[in-house]
Structure 1
Amino acid sequence: MSSIPSLLRDRIAATPDAEAYRVPSDDGWISLSWREVGDRVRGLALGLAKLGSGPGARVSILCSTRLEWILCDLAVLATGAATTTIYPSNTAAESAFIISDSGSTIVIAENDDQVAKLESVRKELPGVSHVIVIDGTPSDDGWVIPLDSVPADEGDYDAMVDAIAQDDLATLIYTSGTTGRPKGVELTHDNWLYTADAVREINLISPSDLHFLWLPLSHSFGKLLEVVMIGQGVPTAIDGRLDKIAENLGVLRPTFMAAAPRIFEKIHNTVVANMRNEGGLKLRIFEWARKTGIRVVRARQRGVPVPITTRIEYALADRLVFAKLRERFGGRIRYFISGAAPLSQDIAEFFDAAGLTILEGYGLTESSAGTFLNRPESVKFGTVGLPFPGTEVRIADDDGEILIKGRGIMRGYHNLPEDTAEALEDGWLHTGDIGELDDVGRLRITDRKKELIKTSGGKYVAPTYLEGKIKAACPYVSHVFVHGDRRNYVTCLVTLDMEVVRPWAQAQSLPLDPEELREHPRMRAEVEKAIQQVNAGEASYATVKKFAILGSDFTVETGELTASLKIKRKAVEERYGSVLDGFYDA
């Protein structure tokens, strides 16, 4: 096949009546077959073509994760146009920049709130001929058209699909901008087809699986999952509501789910905090089970036999603790997949002990999201696994930067030839990450090249590593921001997960207001204990000397997090500069 629409067409021909997608409804969940998906995509594509979508055109999608996102994306691609993705959390100004920079002439918006955002910057969008709203009302002047009113026209759908070439642009995804102005990453149909081919080759999933998708489809990780599931014919249950993840896992009983590390941290911290609140015998059993499980995990990781007494203990721990945890997630999880940010090894070990193995992977938007992945049969915690088949990797001799090459590498940055040349020097993508390869070729990420802290004493510190360790050590912590570049020691900011900490605070008769709680000696003692626990395993120059607990969490809405839940380091430094500077006052 030469394109994503031709991949879909092949899927429909192969398994027309098999389940493709499952979506929430008022009465539970309803399913669509691949044939039904094909019919809807065909009708919408012909309608979009009539409105001006076609070869060389761009259509922006401003919408949360839901079935219509995928249907619209596939329809846009079928016309020969490219999709530009916009996070629903983007501001009006950010949305206007992406729409204008990409040259989008049509925007598909989720609802009236998103349309209002576009209306507020309409003067900056002279090239946009139509806004198509999924759940909303039309405008009097015809600029806004409801999705179900898009005119399905007669036309040759198959001819449109046949005309798409592998090297045609499929997607423009703008980088999250953690370090500067967003850049549009140009990804072709062949870039995405490579990911589908690679996953099929490593035999990771099959049509008997059920995939639960909540990740933002505006992010490259979500888009990768969309294409891979079409290629493999795996049914996907879709619900982008973060507050429904735990409930959906229990109801849907999926066999695998991909997520950012923050989701696994949240699950881990909730479980640990609940056990602490229970106290007594339940807590002692839980702590014993966790320690027993991690002993078994570490023995397996070292490749050494597990003593018979430990195996007996582990079987009991599984029956008393871990089996109940698996059942909360439906009881059918074969594995989770983690990407988009580093996963703490402590978190990975806990989940593996519980029989919920997390396969950590690695990739960038510039590499179509999928580049490395731990294989189920050879998981090595602390690494992101082996490269996908067909991907080459090497480590730069001078600074340890990870360089990759292969079919998944972007065509370039949109209208930024100098940046493209710098990123793709000699055909190798310069990732900006530092890492090393082990003796079998698995990659270990040390840190972001641009985020490494260099103390005034000349020592390098990896902040995301320390942040992950601290979050794993204290269940009440939501986010940690480690600071100390060009300073004489390392410090950090800590935010509280109030959903997790509130029951504990209430049981301890502590203040429930975050501003009061953050300064309470008991709360500070809990965080300090975790920091000291992490410090005990680090070199002196990498230990956290001072910390502050903040009164509000980092969020996407307030600007400290990207849509994939990574910390925007510059934004945090700017907002909390006075607090950070105060750590170093004489």
Structure 2
Amino acid sequence: MSSIPSLLRDRIAATPDAEAYRVPSDDGWISLSWQEVGSRVRSLALGLSELGSGPGNRVSILCSTRLEWILTDLAVLSTGAATTTIYPSNTAAECAYVINDSGSTIVVAENDDQVAKLRSVQKELPRVTRVVVVEGTPSDDGWVVTLDSVKAETGDYDAMVDAISRDDLATLIYTSGTTGVPKGVELTHDNWLYTAEAVGEVDLIGPSDLHFLWLPLSHSFGKLLEVVMIALGVPTVIDGRLDKIADNLGAVRPTVMAAAPRIFEKIHNTVVATQQREGGVKLRIFEWARQTGIRVSRARQHGAPIPVTTRVEYAIADRLVFSKLRERFGGRVRFFISGAAPLSQDIAEFFDGAGLTILEGYGLTESSAGSFLNRPDSVRFGTVGRPFPGTEVRIADDGEILIGGRGIMRGYHGMPEESAQALADGWLHTGDIGELDEAGRLRITDRKKELIKTSGGKYVAPTYLEGRIKAACPYASHVFVHGDRRNYVTALVTLDMDVVRPWAQAEGLPTDPGELSRHPRMLAEVEKAIKQVNDDQASYSTVKKFAILAADFTVETGELTPSLKVKRKAVEERHGEVLDSLYDA
């Protein structure tokens, strides 16, 4: 096995008739076997080869998460070319940058809207010879062709696959650019094969599981899941529509799902806010059940015995509260996997107490997305678990996490100086600060470049405070902690209107976000949560003042990356006046 296409070929040979993917249709769901997937990949690869895809080439995919994304990716790789991923939310200028920097000659676009985006910058894409549209119309000038028209049946597919080596470039994924110009991370076939092998050694999942995939495949986390499921033969339900997640969970009843922390935060906040709105006996039962679940979770984490009385209480809490919550997810979830951003320990313990354990992991695009993961038998919330087999870790003198192993990138595309800096001394310098516990689990304390240093010389970890405040206030969507070179710490808070609006209506409050952000009741709710978090913080790291913004952070306004991480510099620039007002004398 020397490449991802050869991995797919081995999977087809081992379990040709087993379910590979399940996708939505007008009548429900359609399943494809591994044999059927192989047939579609083969014909698409032969067609793309005729268009010029091959060794040394790059093909960009500008598409949301759907079956065609995976089929196209596998087909591109089968020709010996590399895939360049582009978020469908990217602007035309951002798309042009990635396409040109990667040297892509073919772009696969999801629909006519994405084609229109490319048309608007066509003059800036001189190397693009063809745009292949998944769902759309071909153009009269031949620049745009349909995906169905690309398929071919003649050619030596196996010879193309056999020619690919482990060290060949497989993927160019561009970093989100939170700290500057996006960099193209070069990941080889061997990088991805290593992560798949490592997950297999951990023995978490197998063919009897059902994996639900909605994460962006343009992100390294989604790409990792694609390769892992092929390696392990795990059937995957694919539907990238965010507004369908809740319905899909109930309909397909998966056993495993990966998500970014924002999804778990939103579910947690919706549940808590709903119970608070109900009030009375239901709220008291919920709060009692939640505290009981957290006690049990903490005992399990530390290997402590659970008293008989607590076990009885937990059984009652499970029947009254937790079992209903699990049913929302289809009733079969064995565990969730969280990555891409820090997960609040408070929220993790709530889910674990409810019988919905979240295994938090850690990795960078530069380390093929997967480097550390909590194991079900040794979960410790607040950590990202132990390294995968074959991954090495070192903590530098300044606390920076350094990673080594087969999963580490080849370098940044066309950026030798940046590559040398990131891979100095043979280790990937992550830019994250952390420590290892007695069991070798990694605890990340913050981003090296994001630590706040107050004017008094004290260091504050903003993401830790942000996670605590979001867990304490169910109405908060995002929290942005600020205070670098200032004399105290402040925060910006945005509202999750899906959660806030029902509460505001029930309380007779305005439902306009702008009005609500200034209302004394709303301010009091946020202040209560911040005070709760402040109570166990050192005085220099307490949030002294805050403001509620009238609009949430979004990808479209540039405050969030496509993987829903906050762009700190963008927030500071966009809301500079509000931040400055919090420091007015």
Q: Secondary structure at the match of 1:361?
A: strand
Paired with 2:535 and 2:248, the residues of 1 have a C-alpha distance of 39
Alpha-carbon distance, 1:302 to partner: 2.5
Partner of 1:448: 447
Q: Does 2:572 correspond to 1:536?
A: no
Q: Does 2:475 correspond to 1:473?
A: no
Paired with 1:385 and 1:198, the residues of 2 have a C-alpha distance of 14
RMSD of aligned C-alpha atoms? 0.6
Paired with 1:585 and 1:354, the residues of 2 have a C-alpha distance of 44
Alpha-carbon distance, 1:153 to partner: 4.7
Once the two structures are superposed, the pairs formed by residues 240-389 of structure 1 within 5 Å of their partners are 240-389=240-389
Paired with 1:57 and 1:575, the residues of 2 have a C-alpha distance of 39
Paired with 2:532 and 2:193, the residues of 1 have a C-alpha distance of 45
Partner of 2:154: 154
CA displacement, residues 286-344 of structure 1 (integer Å, 9 cap, x when unaligned): 01100111111112223221111111111100000001100111110000000000000
Paired with 2:491 and 2:473, the residues of 1 have a C-alpha distance of 14
Q: Which amino acid aligns with 1:183?
A: K
Paired with 1:304 and 1:88, the residues of 2 have a C-alpha distance of 47
Q: Is the CA contact (8 Å cut-off) linking 1:196 and 1:231 kept in structure 2?
A: yes
Partner of 2:499: 500
Q: Is the CA contact (8 Å cut-off) linking 2:196 and 2:231 kept in structure 1?
A: yes
Q: Which amino acid aligns with 1:118?
A: L
Partner of 2:47: 47
Alpha-carbon distance, 1:585 to partner: 1.5
Partner of 2:175: 175
Partner of 2:521: 522
Paired with 1:231 and 1:243, the residues of 2 have a C-alpha distance of 29
Unaligned runs of 5+ in 2: none
Paired with 2:93 and 2:263, the residues of 1 have a C-alpha distance of 29
Partner of 1:575: 574
Q: Does 2:568 correspond to 1:550?
A: no
Q: Secondary structure at the match of 2:584?
A: coil
Alpha-carbon distance, 1:353 to partner: 0.3
Paired with 2:563 and 2:141, the residues of 1 have a C-alpha distance of 36
Partner of 2:456: 457
CA displacement, residues 55-95 of structure 1 (integer Å, 9 cap, x when unaligned): 00000000000000000000000000000000000000000
Q: Which amino acid aligns with 1:225?
A: L
Alpha-carbon distance, 1:280 to partner: 1.3
Paired with 1:391 and 1:280, the residues of 2 have a C-alpha distance of 51
Paired with 2:194 and 2:134, the residues of 1 have a C-alpha distance of 31
Partner of 1:188: 188
Partner of 2:33: 33
Partner of 2:96: 96
Partner of 1:215: 215
Paired with 1:304 and 1:209, the residues of 2 have a C-alpha distance of 30
Q: Is the CA contact (8 Å cut-off) linking 2:453 and 2:483 kept in structure 1?
A: yes
Q: Does 2:494 correspond to 1:490?
A: no
Paired with 2:527 and 2:29, the residues of 1 have a C-alpha distance of 45
Q: Which amino acid aligns with 1:489?
A: Y
Paired with 1:247 and 1:281, the residues of 2 have a C-alpha distance of 29
Normalised by the length of structure 2, the TM-score is 1.00
Paired with 1:485 and 1:252, the residues of 2 have a C-alpha distance of 47
Q: Secondary structure at the match of 1:440?
A: coil
Q: Does 2:385 correspond to 1:391?
A: no
Q: Is the CA contact (8 Å cut-off) linking 2:401 and 2:431 kept in structure 1?
A: yes
Q: Which amino acid aligns with 2:194?
A: Y
Q: Does 2:558 correspond to 1:559?
A: yes
Paired with 1:304 and 1:164, the residues of 2 have a C-alpha distance of 51
CA displacement, residues 529-584 of structure 1 (integer Å, 9 cap, x when unaligned): 00000000100000000000001101111111111110011110110000011111
Q: Does 2:6 correspond to 1:17?
A: no
Paired with 2:72 and 2:568, the residues of 1 have a C-alpha distance of 34
Paired with 2:338 and 2:155, the residues of 1 have a C-alpha distance of 42
CA displacement, residues 165-205 of structure 1 (integer Å, 9 cap, x when unaligned): 00000000000011111000000000000011001101010
Q: How many residues align?
A: 585
Q: Secondary structure at the match of 2:89?
A: coil
Paired with 2:406 and 2:298, the residues of 1 have a C-alpha distance of 36
Paired with 1:328 and 1:251, the residues of 2 have a C-alpha distance of 10
Paired with 1:247 and 1:452, the residues of 2 have a C-alpha distance of 39
Paired with 1:19 and 1:301, the residues of 2 have a C-alpha distance of 35
Q: Which amino acid aligns with 1:77?
A: L
Q: Is the CA contact (8 Å cut-off) linking 1:477 and 1:496 kept in structure 2?
A: yes
Paired with 2:237 and 2:203, the residues of 1 have a C-alpha distance of 21
Partner of 1:434: 433
Q: Secondary structure at the match of 2:190?
A: helix
Q: Which amino acid aligns with 1:330?
A: G
CA displacement, residues 14-54 of structure 1 (integer Å, 9 cap, x when unaligned): 00000000001111111000000000000000000000000
Q: Is the CA contact (8 Å cut-off) linking 2:301 and 2:378 kept in structure 1?
A: no
Alpha-carbon distance, 1:281 to partner: 1.1
Partner of 2:76: 76
Q: Secondary structure at the match of 1:518?
A: helix
Q: Secondary structure at the match of 1:533?
A: helix
Once the two structures are superposed, the pairs formed by residues 417-432 of structure 1 within 5 Å of their partners are 417-432=416-431
Unaligned runs of 5+ in 1: none
Paired with 2:285 and 2:230, the residues of 1 have a C-alpha distance of 44
Q: Which amino acid aligns with 2:274?
A: N
Q: Does 2:584 correspond to 1:585?
A: yes
Paired with 1:92 and 1:552, the residues of 2 have a C-alpha distance of 24
Residues 158-167 or 298-307, more deviating: 298-307
Q: Is the CA contact (8 Å cut-off) linking 1:50 and 1:153 kept in structure 2?
A: no
Partner of 1:415: 414
Residues 430-439 or 556-565, more deviating: 556-565
Q: Secondary structure at the match of 1:433?
A: strand
Q: Which amino acid aligns with 2:560?
A: L
CA displacement, residues 103-138 of structure 1 (integer Å, 9 cap, x when unaligned): 000000000000000000001100000000000011
Q: Which amino acid aligns with 1:310?
A: T
Q: Is the CA contact (8 Å cut-off) linking 2:479 and 2:492 kept in structure 1?
A: yes
Alpha-carbon distance, 1:151 to partner: 4.3
Paired with 1:296 and 1:229, the residues of 2 have a C-alpha distance of 32
Alpha-carbon distance, 1:279 to partner: 1.2
Q: Secondary structure at the match of 2:518?
A: coil
Partner of 2:129: 129
Paired with 1:431 and 1:280, the residues of 2 have a C-alpha distance of 48
Paired with 1:151 and 1:408, the residues of 2 have a C-alpha distance of 33
Paired with 1:170 and 1:276, the residues of 2 have a C-alpha distance of 49
Q: Is the CA contact (8 Å cut-off) linking 2:45 and 2:151 kept in structure 1?
A: no
Residues 302-311 or 43-52, more deviating: 302-311
Q: Secondary structure at the match of 2:20?
A: strand
Paired with 2:536 and 2:221, the residues of 1 have a C-alpha distance of 33
Between the aligned residues of both structures, percent identity stands at: 84
Q: Secondary structure at the match of 1:324?
A: helix
Paired with 2:457 and 2:301, the residues of 1 have a C-alpha distance of 34
Paired with 1:370 and 1:349, the residues of 2 have a C-alpha distance of 22
Moved over 3 A (4+): none
Alpha-carbon distance, 1:139 to partner: 0.8
Q: Is the CA contact (8 Å cut-off) linking 2:54 and 2:79 kept in structure 1?
A: yes
Paired with 2:211 and 2:365, the residues of 1 have a C-alpha distance of 22
Paired with 1:267 and 1:161, the residues of 2 have a C-alpha distance of 43
